[in-house]
Amino acid sequence: MKNNFIFFLFLGLVKPAFPQDPTGLKNATFLEKLYKDKSYLELKKKIVSEFAHIPAGQWGEFVRGVDEIILTQKKVIAFTFDACGGKNGNGYDKELIDYLRHEKVPATLFVSGKWIDSQFTVFLNLSRDSLFEIENHGLNHRPCSINGHSAYGIKGTSNIEEAFNEIEANARKIEAITNRRPHFYRSAATFIDEACASMASRLGITAVSYRVLSGDAIPFIPEAVIEANVLKNIIPGAIVIMHFNHPEWNTKEALQKIVPILRQQGYIFVRLNDCELTTDKYKIKR
Ligand SMILES: [Zn+2]
Protein backbone atom coordinates (compact mmCIF):
# COMPACT_ATOMS: atom_id res chain seq x y z
CA MET A 1 0.00 0.00 0.00
CA LYS A 2 2.73 2.36 1.05
CA ASN A 3 4.73 1.52 -2.09
CA ASN A 4 1.72 2.24 -4.28
CA PHE A 5 1.27 5.56 -2.58
CA ILE A 6 4.90 6.53 -3.23
CA PHE A 7 4.61 5.37 -6.83
CA PHE A 8 1.55 7.54 -7.52
CA LEU A 9 3.13 10.47 -5.71
CA PHE A 10 6.14 10.05 -8.00
CA LEU A 11 3.91 9.97 -11.09
CA GLY A 12 2.28 13.19 -9.98
CA LEU A 13 5.64 14.93 -9.65
CA VAL A 14 7.15 13.81 -12.95
CA LYS A 15 6.05 15.88 -15.89
CA PRO A 16 6.20 14.17 -19.27
CA ALA A 17 9.08 15.54 -21.37
CA PHE A 18 6.72 16.12 -24.28
CA PRO A 19 3.09 17.23 -24.24
CA GLN A 20 0.82 14.35 -25.13
CA ASP A 21 -2.27 16.45 -25.59
CA PRO A 22 -2.54 18.78 -28.58
CA THR A 23 -5.24 20.90 -26.92
CA GLY A 24 -3.94 24.41 -26.61
CA LEU A 25 -1.29 23.81 -29.27
CA LYS A 26 -3.62 24.13 -32.27
CA ASN A 27 -2.70 27.15 -34.38
CA ALA A 28 -5.63 29.39 -33.40
CA THR A 29 -5.49 28.70 -29.64
CA PHE A 30 -1.70 28.75 -29.56
CA LEU A 31 -1.68 32.18 -31.23
CA GLU A 32 -4.33 33.39 -28.77
CA LYS A 33 -2.04 32.30 -25.93
CA LEU A 34 0.95 34.05 -27.52
CA TYR A 35 -1.09 37.26 -27.72
CA LYS A 36 -1.23 37.16 -23.91
CA ASP A 37 2.50 36.35 -23.62
CA LYS A 38 4.49 39.44 -22.70
CA SER A 39 7.76 38.22 -24.22
CA TYR A 40 6.07 37.45 -27.55
CA LEU A 41 4.23 40.78 -27.68
CA GLU A 42 7.33 42.79 -26.76
CA LEU A 43 9.44 41.04 -29.39
CA LYS A 44 6.70 41.52 -31.98
CA LYS A 45 6.48 45.24 -31.18
CA LYS A 46 10.26 45.57 -31.50
CA ILE A 47 10.37 43.73 -34.83
CA VAL A 48 7.46 45.73 -36.25
CA SER A 49 9.20 49.00 -35.40
CA GLU A 50 12.63 47.77 -36.66
CA PHE A 51 11.19 46.67 -40.01
CA ALA A 52 8.68 49.51 -40.48
CA HIS A 53 10.92 51.41 -42.89
CA ILE A 54 12.80 48.52 -44.48
CA PRO A 55 11.86 47.88 -48.11
CA ALA A 56 10.52 44.42 -48.98
CA GLY A 57 13.34 43.94 -51.50
CA GLN A 58 13.27 41.15 -54.04
CA TRP A 59 10.59 38.46 -53.97
CA GLY A 60 11.53 34.89 -54.90
CA GLU A 61 13.12 31.62 -53.92
CA PHE A 62 16.74 32.77 -53.95
CA VAL A 63 16.76 36.28 -52.56
CA ARG A 64 19.40 37.92 -50.40
CA GLY A 65 19.51 36.41 -46.91
CA VAL A 66 18.41 32.93 -47.97
CA ASP A 67 20.86 30.00 -47.90
CA GLU A 68 20.67 27.31 -50.57
CA ILE A 69 23.67 25.05 -50.22
CA ILE A 70 26.01 23.40 -47.73
CA LEU A 71 29.44 24.98 -47.57
CA THR A 72 31.58 21.98 -48.52
CA GLN A 73 33.69 20.46 -51.27
CA LYS A 74 32.88 16.98 -50.03
CA LYS A 75 30.29 14.59 -51.41
CA VAL A 76 27.73 15.52 -48.81
CA ILE A 77 24.07 16.28 -49.49
CA ALA A 78 20.97 17.01 -47.44
CA PHE A 79 17.55 15.63 -48.21
CA THR A 80 14.85 18.00 -46.98
CA PHE A 81 11.16 17.10 -46.90
CA ASP A 82 8.33 19.60 -46.43
CA ALA A 83 4.93 18.95 -44.83
CA CYS A 84 2.75 21.83 -45.96
CA GLY A 85 -0.64 21.21 -44.33
CA GLY A 86 -4.16 22.49 -44.99
CA LYS A 87 -5.13 22.77 -48.66
CA ASN A 88 -1.56 21.89 -49.56
CA GLY A 89 -1.75 18.47 -47.97
CA ASN A 90 -2.39 17.15 -44.47
CA GLY A 91 -1.26 13.64 -45.36
CA TYR A 92 1.66 11.57 -44.10
CA ASP A 93 3.88 9.46 -46.36
CA LYS A 94 4.57 6.71 -43.84
CA GLU A 95 6.26 4.45 -46.40
CA LEU A 96 8.73 7.20 -47.27
CA ILE A 97 9.63 7.76 -43.61
CA ASP A 98 9.88 3.98 -43.07
CA TYR A 99 12.27 3.80 -46.02
CA LEU A 100 14.49 6.57 -44.59
CA ARG A 101 14.53 4.75 -41.24
CA HIS A 102 15.29 1.39 -42.81
CA GLU A 103 18.15 2.85 -44.86
CA LYS A 104 19.32 5.10 -41.99
CA VAL A 105 19.15 8.18 -44.19
CA PRO A 106 19.13 11.29 -42.00
CA ALA A 107 16.77 14.01 -43.16
CA THR A 108 15.53 17.48 -42.34
CA LEU A 109 11.75 17.82 -42.04
CA PHE A 110 10.16 21.24 -42.54
CA VAL A 111 6.71 21.23 -40.94
CA SER A 112 3.97 23.85 -40.86
CA GLY A 113 1.77 24.50 -37.83
CA LYS A 114 -1.24 23.42 -39.89
CA TRP A 115 0.33 20.06 -40.64
CA ILE A 116 1.24 19.52 -36.98
CA ASP A 117 -2.43 20.17 -36.10
CA SER A 118 -3.56 17.40 -38.41
CA GLN A 119 -0.79 14.88 -37.59
CA PHE A 120 0.06 15.56 -33.96
CA THR A 121 0.88 11.99 -32.92
CA VAL A 122 2.95 11.36 -36.05
CA PHE A 123 4.76 14.63 -35.46
CA LEU A 124 5.60 13.71 -31.86
CA ASN A 125 6.95 10.39 -33.04
CA LEU A 126 9.14 11.99 -35.74
CA SER A 127 10.43 14.65 -33.37
CA ARG A 128 11.70 11.92 -31.00
CA ASP A 129 13.68 10.19 -33.72
CA SER A 130 17.26 11.49 -33.84
CA LEU A 131 17.48 10.51 -37.52
CA PHE A 132 15.29 13.53 -38.23
CA GLU A 133 15.76 17.22 -37.66
CA ILE A 134 12.55 19.22 -37.28
CA GLU A 135 12.51 22.67 -38.84
CA ASN A 136 10.00 25.46 -39.47
CA HIS A 137 7.72 25.60 -42.55
CA GLY A 138 5.56 28.45 -41.21
CA LEU A 139 2.52 28.57 -38.93
CA ASN A 140 -0.11 28.69 -41.65
CA HIS A 141 1.97 27.74 -44.70
CA ARG A 142 1.97 31.18 -46.28
CA PRO A 143 4.72 32.56 -48.51
CA CYS A 144 6.57 35.11 -46.39
CA SER A 145 5.97 38.67 -47.53
CA ILE A 146 5.68 42.02 -45.77
CA ASN A 147 3.30 43.31 -48.43
CA GLY A 148 0.99 40.51 -49.54
CA HIS A 149 2.79 38.88 -52.49
CA SER A 150 1.47 35.44 -53.51
CA ALA A 151 3.18 32.40 -54.99
CA TYR A 152 1.64 29.46 -56.88
CA GLY A 153 -1.83 30.67 -55.89
CA ILE A 154 -1.01 30.72 -52.16
CA LYS A 155 -1.62 34.11 -50.59
CA GLY A 156 1.43 35.39 -48.77
CA THR A 157 1.47 37.18 -45.43
CA SER A 158 0.17 40.75 -45.80
CA ASN A 159 2.35 42.73 -43.43
CA ILE A 160 5.21 42.62 -40.93
CA GLU A 161 3.01 41.35 -38.09
CA GLU A 162 1.67 38.43 -40.11
CA ALA A 163 5.16 37.57 -41.36
CA PHE A 164 6.40 37.64 -37.75
CA ASN A 165 3.61 35.27 -36.64
CA GLU A 166 4.29 32.96 -39.56
CA ILE A 167 7.93 32.52 -38.54
CA GLU A 168 8.06 33.10 -34.77
CA ALA A 169 4.76 31.53 -33.69
CA ASN A 170 5.57 28.28 -35.48
CA ALA A 171 9.11 28.29 -34.06
CA ARG A 172 7.59 28.61 -30.56
CA LYS A 173 4.96 25.98 -31.30
CA ILE A 174 7.60 23.48 -32.44
CA GLU A 175 9.71 24.31 -29.39
CA ALA A 176 6.70 23.89 -27.07
CA ILE A 177 6.20 20.38 -28.43
CA THR A 178 9.78 19.19 -28.98
CA ASN A 179 11.84 21.23 -26.49
CA ARG A 180 14.03 22.39 -29.39
CA ARG A 181 13.73 25.73 -31.19
CA PRO A 182 14.07 25.31 -34.97
CA HIS A 183 17.21 26.78 -36.55
CA PHE A 184 15.92 26.99 -40.10
CA TYR A 185 12.83 28.34 -41.84
CA ARG A 186 11.58 27.48 -45.31
CA SER A 187 8.64 29.65 -46.37
CA ALA A 188 5.63 28.16 -48.14
CA ALA A 189 6.40 27.53 -51.84
CA THR A 190 9.93 28.67 -50.82
CA PHE A 191 8.89 32.24 -51.72
CA ILE A 192 10.09 35.00 -49.42
CA ASP A 193 11.10 38.64 -49.66
CA GLU A 194 14.42 40.05 -48.49
CA ALA A 195 12.84 41.80 -45.49
CA CYS A 196 11.36 38.52 -44.22
CA ALA A 197 14.67 36.68 -44.72
CA SER A 198 16.30 39.41 -42.66
CA MET A 199 13.52 39.16 -40.04
CA ALA A 200 14.12 35.41 -39.72
CA SER A 201 17.81 36.08 -39.18
CA ARG A 202 16.93 38.70 -36.53
CA LEU A 203 14.94 35.94 -34.78
CA GLY A 204 17.97 33.65 -34.84
CA ILE A 205 16.59 31.53 -37.67
CA THR A 206 18.17 31.02 -41.11
CA ALA A 207 15.88 31.14 -44.16
CA VAL A 208 16.61 28.18 -46.43
CA SER A 209 15.76 27.45 -50.03
CA TYR A 210 17.24 24.55 -52.03
CA ARG A 211 19.82 23.69 -54.70
CA VAL A 212 18.10 20.69 -56.31
CA LEU A 213 14.38 20.79 -57.07
CA SER A 214 13.10 17.22 -57.18
CA GLY A 215 9.85 18.37 -58.76
CA ASP A 216 7.88 15.81 -56.75
CA ALA A 217 5.07 18.37 -56.30
CA ILE A 218 4.32 18.63 -60.03
CA PRO A 219 0.98 16.84 -60.56
CA PHE A 220 1.35 13.24 -61.77
CA ILE A 221 5.10 13.50 -62.26
CA PRO A 222 6.53 9.99 -62.79
CA GLU A 223 9.19 8.65 -60.44
CA ALA A 224 11.72 8.46 -63.30
CA VAL A 225 11.49 12.23 -63.81
CA ILE A 226 11.97 12.95 -60.10
CA GLU A 227 14.93 10.56 -60.12
CA ALA A 228 16.47 12.28 -63.16
CA ASN A 229 15.86 15.76 -61.70
CA VAL A 230 17.88 14.82 -58.64
CA LEU A 231 20.63 12.71 -60.20
CA LYS A 232 21.36 15.11 -63.08
CA ASN A 233 21.60 18.14 -60.85
CA ILE A 234 23.28 16.77 -57.75
CA ILE A 235 26.52 18.45 -56.66
CA PRO A 236 28.51 18.31 -53.42
CA GLY A 237 26.68 20.33 -50.78
CA ALA A 238 23.30 20.21 -52.53
CA ILE A 239 20.12 20.68 -50.51
CA VAL A 240 17.40 18.58 -52.18
CA ILE A 241 13.75 19.59 -51.73
CA MET A 242 10.98 16.96 -51.56
CA HIS A 243 7.73 16.41 -49.62
CA PHE A 244 6.50 13.84 -47.10
CA ASN A 245 2.87 14.95 -46.81
CA HIS A 246 1.56 13.36 -50.04
CA PRO A 247 1.73 9.55 -49.90
CA GLU A 248 0.03 9.48 -53.33
CA TRP A 249 3.01 11.22 -54.96
CA ASN A 250 6.01 9.31 -56.34
CA THR A 251 8.57 10.71 -53.92
CA LYS A 252 9.32 7.45 -52.09
CA GLU A 253 9.48 5.41 -55.30
CA ALA A 254 12.02 7.87 -56.75
CA LEU A 255 13.99 7.99 -53.50
CA GLN A 256 14.36 4.20 -53.50
CA LYS A 257 16.24 4.59 -56.80
CA ILE A 258 18.14 7.76 -55.88
CA VAL A 259 19.59 6.73 -52.51
CA PRO A 260 21.50 3.58 -53.65
CA ILE A 261 22.86 5.36 -56.75
CA LEU A 262 24.11 8.35 -54.76
CA ARG A 263 25.66 6.01 -52.19
CA GLN A 264 27.46 4.19 -54.99
CA GLN A 265 28.76 7.57 -56.18
CA GLY A 266 30.22 8.15 -52.72
CA TYR A 267 27.66 10.63 -51.37
CA ILE A 268 26.81 10.73 -47.70
CA PHE A 269 23.60 12.22 -46.32
CA VAL A 270 23.36 14.81 -43.56
CA ARG A 271 20.86 17.05 -41.81
CA LEU A 272 21.08 20.82 -42.25
CA ASN A 273 21.94 21.27 -38.61
CA ASP A 274 25.09 19.17 -39.10
CA CYS A 275 26.51 21.69 -41.58
CA GLU A 276 27.37 25.27 -42.35
CA LEU A 277 25.14 26.70 -45.07
CA THR A 278 25.77 29.43 -47.60
CA THR A 279 24.31 31.03 -50.71
CA ASP A 280 24.94 29.33 -54.04
CA LYS A 281 27.41 31.62 -55.73
CA TYR A 282 27.38 29.53 -58.91
CA LYS A 283 23.68 29.95 -59.48
CA ILE A 284 22.89 33.39 -58.19
CA LYS A 285 24.17 36.61 -59.61
CA ARG A 286 23.80 39.47 -57.21
ZN1 LIG B 1 5.07 23.66 -48.40
pTM for this one? 0.92
CA of 218 relative to ligand 1 center, distance in Å: 13
CA of 88 relative to ligand 1 center, distance in Å: 7
Q: Given this model, what pLDDT does residue 22 score?
A: 81
Residue 149, pLDDT above cutoff 80: yes
**How high is the mean pLDDT of the chain?**
92
CA of 243 relative to ligand 1 center, distance in Å: 8
Residues 187-199 pLDDT 10s: 999 999 999 999 9
Residue 147, pLDDT above cutoff 90: yes
Alpha carbon distance 280, 286 (integer Å): 11
CA of 241 relative to ligand 1 center, distance in Å: 10
Q: Which residues contact 185 (CB under 8 A, 6 or more apart)?
A: 135, 136, 137, 138, 144, 167, 171, 200, 205, 206, 207, 208
CA of 242 relative to ligand 1 center, distance in Å: 9
Classify 127 in phi/psi space as left (phi over 0), alpha (psi -120 to 50) or beta. Answer: alpha
Pairing of strands 277-278, 132-136: unpaired
Homologous superfamily (CATH) of 24-276 is Glycoside hydrolase/deacetylase (3.20.20.370)
CA of 115 relative to ligand 1 center, distance in Å: 10
- Residue 85 pLDDT grade (very low, low, confident, very high; cuts 50, 70, 90): very high
**280 versus 133: which is more confidently predicted?**
133
Alpha carbon distance 43, 55 (integer Å): 20
CA distances in angstroms from 82 to 33, 197, 245, 261, 276, listed in the order given: 26, 18, 7, 23, 20
- Mean pLDDT in residue range 26-54: 97
Classify residue 251 as exposed, middle or buried by CB count within 10 Å of its CB (0-12, 13-18, 19+): buried
- Mean pLDDT in residue range 230-242: 98
Phi, psi of 277 (to 5 degrees): -105, 160
- Greatest Cα pair distance, the chain, in angstroms, is 74
Q: What percent of the chain has pLDDT over 90?
A: 88
- Each domain of the chain, given as residue ranges in start order, spans 24-276
Question: What is the amino acid identity at position 212?
Answer: V
